[in-house]
Structure 1
Amino acid sequence: MTRQSQFACPLAAMAAALLAAFGPAHAQQNRDLAWLTKPSSTVSIGTGYLSGDAPNFGRYTGLREEGAYGLLNIDINKLDTTTGTWTTLKGSNLGLENRDLRFQHERQGDWGYTIDYSETPRFEPYTVNTAVTGIGTPNLVIPTSAAAVEVPTQLKMKRESLGMGYTRQLGRGFDLQVRARNEEKDGARIFGRGAGTNAFEFAPEPIHSTTRELEAILGYTDKKLQVSGIYYGTAYDNRNTALRFAGGGSALASFNPIGLPPDSQSHQLALDGGYNFSPTTRGTFKLAYTRATQNDDFISGVTLANGINAVDNLHGRMDTTQLQFGVTALPLPKLSVLADVRYEDREDKTPVRLYTEAGVSPTSTYTGLYEPHSIKSTTGKLEATYQLPKAIRMTAGIDYVEKDRTAPVIRAVSFRDRTAETSYRLGFKRTISETVSGAVTYVHSDRSGSDFQTNVLNCGSVTCTSGATVSSAFNLIAPLNLADRQRDKLRLAMNWQASEALAVQFMADLTRDDYASRTADDFGLRDGRSKNYSIDASYAFSDEWQGSAWFSKNDTSANRASRTTPTAPWSSTLLNNANSIGIGLRGNPTSKLGIGMDLSHSEIADIYRLQALAGPAVSSLPDVYTRQSNVKLYAIYALQKNTSIRFDFVHDRFSTNDWSWSSWAYSDGTTLAQRPQQDVNFLGVTYIYRFQ
């Protein structure tokens, strides 16, 4: 129920009472009051012009190419005051490619249904210069050697979503909600084929899939018990089963066809709710069971002859059980406590079968068998808040996360099957004065786990009879999510209501991560740091003019040790620095004119610092900088009481020196390019009509 729907009927009744009280002499004033109290609708229609091509500016809107665009928005609201039935139709960006439309019909406190439709494009910001043909289809033709570009190509994906929902109050505390959604994806995205030292060829993946979702919730509510029975199901249907090739280099002939993501589905049953044991104690719970399956053939109708066994269906199955129980209580007037425990068991029941012909080398780091990936997670939280003297609230808490994983038989990097992390939190919040409040929180986390398992080859040992031995480097690095880690985090926050006109908010996060080394020769992540600051301010110059400003700064760094050979160790420091600033202004110079301005600028830098610890010198990668500035101006002028005209102007500047693709070429001659600087202006004019 919207705020408008909550107050429309009472205000309409007040308007009628005023009309009766003051009579015809005040008819005009009452007509104005009725205009303000009844639900109103608007339709805006116009046109806009983009000054030039702007791949980054229109990445998700379709405003990419120079030219004119249609602008259409609708917001229609109708209320039957005798029955309390609302009918609404809302549509935005209907003249652009990122359009959405929603229809809703509901009787307050009784029933309602919705239908919504949306489209979202996603344009690849890089222009593809290629001689590969068949893009967007599962049949590609690739030059046998580097070929000249024929036609620059722009890859694009489009998502169309259609959803429906229904709600019904069944009486006696029961209610029903049903939601369904169908989403279509079409287009192509960057992909390639190649392996090891073989050449890589440009092979864009065709996208033509459907995702369906269905959710049904039966709820019950009384004074103490609130509970919902839930069904949630999904189905993914990929109409392209395989990517097939004609031409291409002889070294990659065995990579034909390449299987694309198979169809899959999932079904979940859940019971979710809470119980009020007393006015000061409440419990919550959730029980859920999910079965996800993948029973689609990898590549239908193809005789496999590339060393692949006849097994062409994963028969994948993942069963997930979730349990959650929690309680919140107020045992003392100044003390509140919270306890919560969650358990999740993701059991991989996919058959373990051989997917590669006999002859897998004993010295390989793979077996050709499917490897199950089961994981059990236990999460616990205990928190207490106490009201101290001098308006200080102290909160202390303990968080615990434990994960048990299925260990793969053959591993290429270090592995441990269990990790556990405990976090301790202590925070203070205080209202310093009538205008200032602040909070500080400190969190210390410590993660460890079981012993790391020694890597072995396919023969089941570190050293095979042939003399092959696991590289010593494989046992000297721990994956990021498994490594021992100590984390310290400090958060500061402050709100300052300096005056009725000025409000300021400040926040700072400081984090430090330290990763323990198992031996002096270990390499991998050593430590990390992050500093995040933000400040927001708003100021009302007068009733007609308001302004706002914000600034944020984010600095993140990670240090790691690596090496190319045992005698050539080196270290690297990776930094990501981002700064953003914005200013906004809103005003009404006259009773008929409203204007606004938003200015923003952001800079992101990815910095690479490499240093040789011994042996020959190493060169750092070039830094990458991305900058974007945006100016938005608008003005709305009221022509009449129910009509107005709006002007919008947008200037966007994007620049980058990203070298990721500039120095890369596929073996078939394909290259990807991005304009290093993109400047574009957009001007829009819209006529707005308001009616009841």
Structure 2
Amino acid sequence: MNKHFTSRLTIIAAALMTVYGQAQAEDDEVRQYSKPDSSISIGVGGTQGDREQMGKYDGVTGDDTHALVDVDIRKRDDTTGTWLKFSTHNLDYENRELKAEYEQQGNWGVSLEYNQTPSRNPNAIKTGVWGVGSNTLTYGGIGTTTATAQAALNPATGDVHLSTRRDTTTLSIVKHLMPNLSFNFSFKNEDKTGSRAWGRGVNPEFAAEPINWNIRQIDGILNYADKVLQLSGGFSGSWFSNANSFVDTIGGSQLNQTASTTNAAGHTFISLPLDNQAYQLFLDGGYNFSKTTRGTFKASYTHGTQNASLSPITNALLNSGARGTNGFIPFSGAQEGLDGEVNTKLMEIGLSARPISKLSLVANLRYQDREDKTPMRAFGRYWTYRCSTTGTTTYYLGSLPTSANCASGTANTISASPTEIDNNPRDFKNLAGKLEATYQLPEGYNLTAGYNYDKRERGFEIDPTAGEYLGVVKMRGKTEEDTWRLQLSKAVSETVSGSISYLHSKRDGSTWHVAEGAADADHPINFVNPAPYADRKRNQWRVMLDWAPTDALSLQLNMEHAKDEYGAGKSGLHDGKTQLVSLDGFYNISPDWQLNGWLSHDTNESHTIGYTYDTRTTTPINWACTSAPGATISAGCTTDLIWDANLKDVGNSIGLGLKGNATAKLKLGGNVQWTRNKSEYPIASNVPTYYSGTLAVPTSLSKQGLPDITTTLTRLALYGEYALDKNSDIRVDLVHERWKSDDWTFMEWNAAGTSLVPFTYMDGTTVTANQDQSATFLGVRYIYKFQ
């Protein structure tokens, strides 16, 4: 939706005259710049209904009553030229804001601001996991292998409400050292607390991540400006600290834990973000070579480090006799810290010029070099073996297992030595440039032609011994993209203007490196087409039209169409398409009444293919077949297995608003908004189905799509404001909202596939989404205005 603003040249001119001490007009509108109105609003507002989804970021999720307190005070001392400003918003709500400012124009100023931002999980969670909100989570026990057995040990009877809160305080100071030189300083402190939904294990079990973060940032900027040269440079520093370095999860299913005499407690430790910091020096500037030529530049250097000790999680692992996630455990001599260091250099130059009256030129060049100087080190190790021929992989600590560790009595060795786990430093470089020219053609036409260049170089993990790439999908070290743009625009008349533009982009890059080394070139993961690095062609059209047939009516039309085609690959994204049509309008019905509205339609489509097997090779095994319960490696795995998905997302939005003066003292207004989004998942596949111990492999692709998801939001807002006298008003607000969705990603289908039921984790925790929510808000407030 576009917002429409109207302004009068007389007001802008008067505001500028006020800054430079010139004579002021005497009308009420101009006086607001020197003696603005202050106001205090006090009232009460009540909400009735369910709005867990709509209230995620304001904290109002159901029946609730709050005081409505808003303050906006602006006072100016004409003798000293000082301003005092104080404002609050939503003071009795969880998304409250407060700000105080005191300044002497042209000399100095100070401000203090506080913002609180909630984030609530809209779903109802019932769990038997103990310790939610802390860094120790306890499950029902060890040794259970089914959800039913796990739930019996720790019934999901406790209600858990997950949410986080962000408290941000900012102090800002400005000092004008001399007419062309000023200094700005700011300090921001942000605390984030609470807990959010998490998970653990190959067999999913519920977990909650404890949030107790602190972020501090300091900025010091020196600004210089005259008619020719403008400079801005300084220092920026940020520090992140986390009160929790890991989460200790105790107990759970046998599939997620190793139950043995050395691991009786069943611990699994999961790391959390560790403390880090960054420091930046920067300098930005501009130089006016002439009235028609200007140059700009930017330069910065950022030094980021992460050297927090790993001792807390290491000691906890060793003291508990536990294993880490996926069998990870520190070993004697392992590093206690990452010693992470990333240095980023950024340089940018730009030039804008008008060499002749009808020609304008814009050019810029940007280079970024992010150098990861973190040393590569081993931090842990594990052994790997298989307990049967089904392909199931098991992790084990210390040494290769005896037959007693396998239910089948046989341990099929994969490696005679442990696998070491190390970090993967990655460098990144980016060179981007732009050249654009606009020429004024006869009859009011403007022709713009442009070229953009983007090159990205990235590092990736290479085995130093074998010289092989060790990633999980194929990778290339460099991509380059060229974009050509052509636009024709014209002010057809005083009432009509518009433009049409076309963009063509082409991306390719360096030679691909196959994952796990050249010996595994036929592995299914090397047929994946990773979208961020794949070859791509993009064609995009855009049409814009602005029409104001009368002084009272204005319309804006925007149409966009883009299509992407990716380099062929057996797996991954093949092509995509997006379309957008939007129309905004504004109409002055009369001097007292205004009408505005908008509508939009957007479509996003993507064609993705999944592929897991190639008949040219019998190894590695087909993952899809071996994951079927009771299936052997060879059963049904002689056919290429394919998923072919044509995903589609369609959005429609309509809005209409009306406001005006019903009488000299009564103002009325309202708007209605309706938004509908539909996601479609048509999928065709020949992936085997498994019934009663038998694999059935289709001979051709058949429809196996997922159900559509449709989400609708309707909102009606009405208000009335009555002037009791010159300085005071009474305002009434009425808002009704309804959110409805059949989003099955929050829930799961019952066995018959006829209805949605709560999602159940392996440990018995259930998650239920309220998929039809409606709520109504009624607020009444008294507003007093003064100077």
| Fold-level similarity (TM above 0.5) | yes
Q: Quickly say closer, same or farther: Cα 1:14–1:223, change in 2 above 3 A.
A: closer
Which moved further from structure 2: 2-11 or 524-533?
Answer: 2-11
Aligned to 1:269: 281
Alignment partner of 1:474: what SS? helix
Q: Which amino acid aligns with 2:582?
A: S
- Look up the match of 1:117: 114
Distance change >3 Å, CA 314–CA 342, structure 1 → 2: same
1:21 is matched with: none
Write out per-residue CA displacement over residues 53-112 of structure 1, whole angstroms, 9 at most, x where no aligned residue. 321121111111213111100000100011211100011111111000010111112211
Per-residue CA shift, 1:585-643, capped at 9, x if unaligned?
00101010001101000011111011137546351111111100000000000011111
Q: Does 1:62 align with 2:69?
A: no
1:25 aligns with none
2:548 & 2:162 partners in 1: Cα distance?
49
1:526 to 549, 561, 574: 574
Match of 1:449 in 2: 509
Aligned to 2:618: none
With over 3 angstroms needed to count, the CA separation of the structure-2 counterparts of 1:84 and 1:172, relative to structure 1, is: closer
Letter of the 2:568 partner, please give it. S
Aligned match of 2:744: 659
Are the equivalent residues in 1 in contact too, given 2:527–2:611 (CA < 8 A)?
Answer: no
Distance 1:311 1:616 in 2: 51
Partner of 1:479: 530
Alignment-derived partner of residue 247 in structure 2? 243
Task: Describe the SS at the equivalent of 1:640.
Answer: coil
Q: Deviations over 1:470-491 (max 9, x none)?
A: 6531221221111000000001
- Distance between the aligned counterparts of 2:156 and 2:602, measured in 1? 41
SS in 2 for 1:251: coil
2-side partners of 1:556 and 1:157: how far apart?
32
Tell me the residue number matched to 1:669.
764
What is the alpha-carbon root mean square deviation over aligned residues?
Answer: 2.4
2:474 to 407, 411, 414: 414
SS at match of 1:623: strand
CA shift for structure 1 position 128: 1.0
Letter of the aligned partner of 2:534 in structure 1?
A: A
1:33, distance to aligned residue in structure 2 (A): 11
Q: Which amino acid aligns with 1:419?
A: T
1:590 aligns with 2:663: yes
**Paired amino acid for 2:718:** L
Q: Which residue is 1:383 aligned to?
A: 436
**Residues 98 and 417 (structure 1 numbering): CA distance in 2 closer, same or farther, change over 3 Å?**
same
Q: Deviations over 1:238-269 (max 9, x none)?
A: 01111112332243336622111101110010
Structure 1 residue 426 and structure 2 residue 486: aligned? yes
Distance in 1, Cα, partners of 2:90 & 2:436: 46
Superposed displacement of residue 7, structure 1: 6.8
Alignment match, 1:563: 611
Note the 1:627-666 alignment, pairs <5 A.
627-663=712-748, 664-666=759-761
Shift in alpha-carbon separation, 1:112–1:569, aligned structure 2, 3 A: same
Whether the aligned pair in 1 keeps the contact of 2:286 and 2:294 (CA below 8 Å) is yes
- Could you give the per-residue CA deviations for residues 438-468 of structure 1, whole angstroms, max 9, x where no partner exists? 00110000000011112235xxx51xxxxxx
SS at match of 2:350: strand
Q: CA separation of 1:13/1:261 partners in 2, compared to 1, >3 Å: closer, same or farther?
A: same
Distance 1:570 1:31 in 2: 68
**Aligned pairs (5 A) from 1:490-529:** 490-517=541-568, 522-529=570-577
Q: Secondary structure at the match of 1:96?
A: coil
Q: Which residue of 1 aligns with 2:411?
A: none
Matched, 1:230 2:234: yes
**Counterpart Cα distance in 1 of 2:220 and 2:126:** 48
Q: CA deviation at 1:36?
A: 10
Q: Do 1:568 and 1:615's aligned partners in 2 also have CA atoms closer than 8 Å?
A: no
Counterpart secondary structure, 2:255: helix
Q: Is the 8 A contact 2:18 2:33 kept in 1?
A: no
User: Residue 36 and residue 474 in structure 1: after superposition, are their counterparts in 2 closer, same or farther (change >3 A)?
Assistant: closer
Residue by residue over 1:172-204, the C-alpha shift from the partner in whole angstroms, topping out at 9 and shown as x without a partner, is: 521101111000101000101113xxx221110
Aligned-partner SS, 2:475:
coil
CA contact (8 A) 1:241 1:299 kept: no
Kept in 1, the 8 Å contact 2:130–2:137? The answer is: yes
Provide Cα deviations, 1:551-594, integer angstroms capped at 9, x if missing partner: 01110000022234442323111111111110000010101000
Checking the alignment, whether the CA contact within 8 Å between 2:24 and 2:30 is kept in structure 1 is: no
| Unpaired stretches in structure 1, ≥5 consecutive residues | 19-29, 463-468
2:477 maps to a residue whose letter is D
Secondary structure at the aligned position of 1:337 is classed as strand
Partner of residue 219 from structure 2, selected from 215, 228, 245: 215
| Cα shift at 1:232 | 1.1
Partner of 1:466: none
TM-score, with structure 1 as normaliser: 0.92
Task: Work out the CA distance in 1 between the residues paired with 2:38 and 2:662.
Answer: 25
Instruction: Return closer, same or farther for 1:442/1:222 CA change in 2, 3 Å cut-off.
Output: same
Cα pair 2:17 2:24 within 8 Å, conserved: no
- State the SS of the aligned residue for 2:583: strand
Q: 2 CA distance for matches of 1:177 and 1:416? A: 44
TM-score (norm 2): 0.81
Bigger Cα displacement from structure 2, 485-494 vs 307-316: 307-316
Change (3 A) 1:324 1:113: same
Superposed displacement of residue 126, structure 1: 1.0
Q: Which moved more, 1:146-155 or 1:643-652?
A: 146-155
Deviations 1:414-450 (A, max 9, x none): 1110100000000011001110000011000000001
**Structure 2, gaps ≥5 residues long:** 1-10, 142-149, 259-266, 324-328, 385-413, 463-469, 615-639, 687-698, 749-758
Deviation at 1:160, TM superposition (A): 0.5
Cα distance change on mapping 1:50 and 1:358 into 2, 3 Å: closer
Aligned match of 1:352: 376
Deviates more, 1:360-369 or 1:373-382: 360-369
Q: 1:367 to 1:344 in 2, by over 3 A?
A: farther
The question of whether the paired residues in 1 share the 8 Å contact of 2:238 and 2:277 is answered with: yes
Quick check: 1:8–1:38 contact (8 Å CA) kept in 2? Answer: no
| 1:684 and 2:779 correspond | yes
Q: Check conservation: 1:73, 1:93, Cα contact below 8 A.
A: yes
Distance 1:303 1:68 in 2: 46
355-364 vs 559-568, greater mean Cα deviation: 355-364
Instruction: Label 1:316 to 1:152 Cα distance change in 2 as closer, same or farther (>3 A).
Output: same
- What is the aligned length? 663
Q: How has the CA–CA distance of structure 1 residues 598 and 365 changed in structure 2, closer, same or farther, with 3 Å as cutoff?
A: farther
300-309 or 569-578, larger mean C-alpha shift: 300-309
The answer on 1:159 being equivalent to 2:166 is yes
Q: What amino acid does structure 1 have at the position aligned with 2:359?
A: L
CA contact (8 A) 1:347 1:375 kept: yes
Identity %: 36
Contact 1:555 1:577 in 2 (8 A): yes
Deviation at 1:335, TM superposition (A): 0.4
Listed one character per residue, the Cα deviations across residues 100-131 of structure 1 (whole Å, up to 9, x for unaligned) are: 00101111122111100011101111111111
